[in-house]
Amino acid sequence: MRRATTAALTVVALVAGVVLATTLPASAAADITATSVELNASAGCADADLDIGMEVPGTVDTETGLTTNAVGETLGEFDQSTSFSGFSGVFDGYGQPVSPDQPEGTIIGSYASIGQAPLSAGTAAEWFVLYRCGSGGNIVLQTCFGDLGTCPSTAAEAVAGAFGAVLDPSAVVPGGTFDVDGEGCFDSLAGAVVLDGGTGIGVGDTVSPQPDGTFSISLTLPGDVTPGTTLTVQVDCGNEVVTVSSLDLPLEVLGDATPTSQDTSTTSSTTAPSAAAATEVAPAFTG
């Protein structure tokens, strides 16, 4: 199987009687190989047409299409016979219907598959584009092509698998600053909070992601965190009602942990505030 996120078209040239060709993608399907995919220039909130690249040296008899939005609604689908045979290149404007027209900013998944029935990884290829539609221009969020089973087939599936984040740096000294850099948050809020054993230590923030789903949150650790320990940064994506996606990342606190000497000659003591009393600044969504 082969997954790709950039368009690649196989070129065959005749030079002095010698055939020169780029190497085709590895494929389990003998009769068809997907080579590229792009969102067609006409696509938007009313249609989700694709430009699909393929090599079809054999015979295929079935083609399918599916368009969906991120909340799980089917906007268009078909399953029909096809006449692709001996085709090499890019088919521009592969029709992918959208009905009803979607509001500005809707995330749409456009999926197509072509092959020999019954469709499988050994008989068919597929193409997928996830994008946010808009009259001012679409924002392509994800592309995929390969043997059947390589790509997501719905917008909801693609969105669920797109969320991720890293810490930069992932190890800081007490009082140090680090960034939470994320991608694939296609909702209204991205949030991050630092936890010590599951309890917030008062370090957290939320931001609005960019239209392409990327975000960056800068956080500063308190100066009194214990050196030599590992904290957890919880990163969330969602809205004011529900958390859609969440993940935990380890944050190392640099420095040597120094034991605190204790005077046991007196019975008086001062009780420190419990960890549970720490103030947690959590994302503004509650799911």
Edge-first strand order for the sheet with 215-220 is 164-168, 177-183, 215-220
User: In Å, what is the CA distance from 107 to each residue of 165, 187, 205, 216?
Assistant: 21, 10, 25, 21
Identity of residue 20: L
Please name each of the domains of the chain with its CATH number: 12-160 (2.60.40), 163-256 (2.60.40.10)
SS3 157: helix
Closest CA to 109 of 157, 53, 62: 157
Alpha-carbon span 32 to 122, nearest angstrom: 9
pLDDT per residue of the chain (287 residues) written in tens, 0 to 9: 222 333 322 222 222 223 333 345 567 888 999 999 999 999 999 999 999 999 999 889 999 999 999 999 999 999 999 988 899 999 999 999 999 999 999 999 999 999 999 999 999 999 999 999 998 999 999 999 999 999 999 999 999 889 999 999 999 999 999 999 999 999 889 999 999 988 888 889 999 999 899 999 999 999 999 999 999 999 999 888 888 889 999 999 998 755 444 443 333 322 222 222 233 334 444 33
